[in-house]
A and B are shown apart, each in its own frame.
Chain A
């Protein structure tokens, strides 16, 4: 059973160190998942199994929690995560048109990633910057008062940095 062997062999020293530093593993699952995603970018099957073993809980529970919360992702994400805010304030100020413009310019649909793994496109629910609606977030950077014609520039700005 090669897959199981590989899973057993996989090691996650960063996660081990984090768990070892916790005062109590009871109820620690979500912080541990946050830490793992921060470290590896996504929650692979292997890391989920590892966490289950270390926290002494069923793997099904880890999977159940990882899939329940929208901030956790089970797949590798691209480099520049584009999130168009579809919160109410942005919605009534036309953020759907912004999302459509990204879809057209990038040639993908929301929740897809471009082939070069540079741009995963998604929507987000309110970053609390409603005064700047409509808002687009690329990774941690917030762009405010975005117009459909600004979309091209936002993409190009990151394309330039893409090779770095």
Chain B
């Protein structure tokens, strides 16, 4: 289990909590690209696991580094599951809907590798949090 920054240590004060948070935020601030896959019941039933695997396979095939694939909950767009949000540092976060294995491959090859947003499949775009 990947645990919070300072491992299995119990927090003994509010300061401990603040330190842990600072560590977590620093981690998030690293220059890493994150792919968020919606893995709530709707997403999983619509095939999010396959999508997640397809993303991982394509990333490996293309030899890309510093990319995390993370599971997340339901964003509320149940009609568009499975969903993948692409967060590239310094760029808008782009959320794709109705993703299947083929589209997963395209997201890796075109969006991640060439910086091309696949407009046809975009649900939302928003400014990435600092």
Q: How large is the interface on A (under 10, 10 to 19, 20 to 34, 35 or more residues)?
A: 10 to 19
Which residues from A are CB-within-8-Å of B122? none
B46 cross-chain contacts in A, Cβ below 8 A: 131-132, 144
Interface mask (B58-98 → A, CB under 8 Å = 1, otherwise 0): 00000000000000000001110100000000000000000
The CA of A132 and the CA of B41, in the complex, are separated in Å by: 10
Q: Give the distance in Å from the alpha carbon of A31 to the alpha carbon of B41 in the complex.
A: 24
A144 to B45 Cα, complex, angstroms: 7
- For the complex, give the distance between the alpha carbons of A142 and B79 in Å: 15
Whether the pair B45, A142 counts as a contact (CB closer than 8 A) is yes
Nearest CB of A to B11, in Å:
26
Interface positions, chain A 111-164, Cβ under 8 Å from B, are 127-132, 135, 142-144
Judge whether B36 is part of the interface by a CB distance below 8 angstroms. no
The 7 A-B residue pairs whose C-beta atoms are closest, nearest first, are: A131-B78, A142-B45, A131-B42, A129-B42, A129-B45, A131-B79, A144-B45
Chain B residues engaging chain A, CB cutoff 8 angstroms:
41-42, 44-46, 77-79, 81
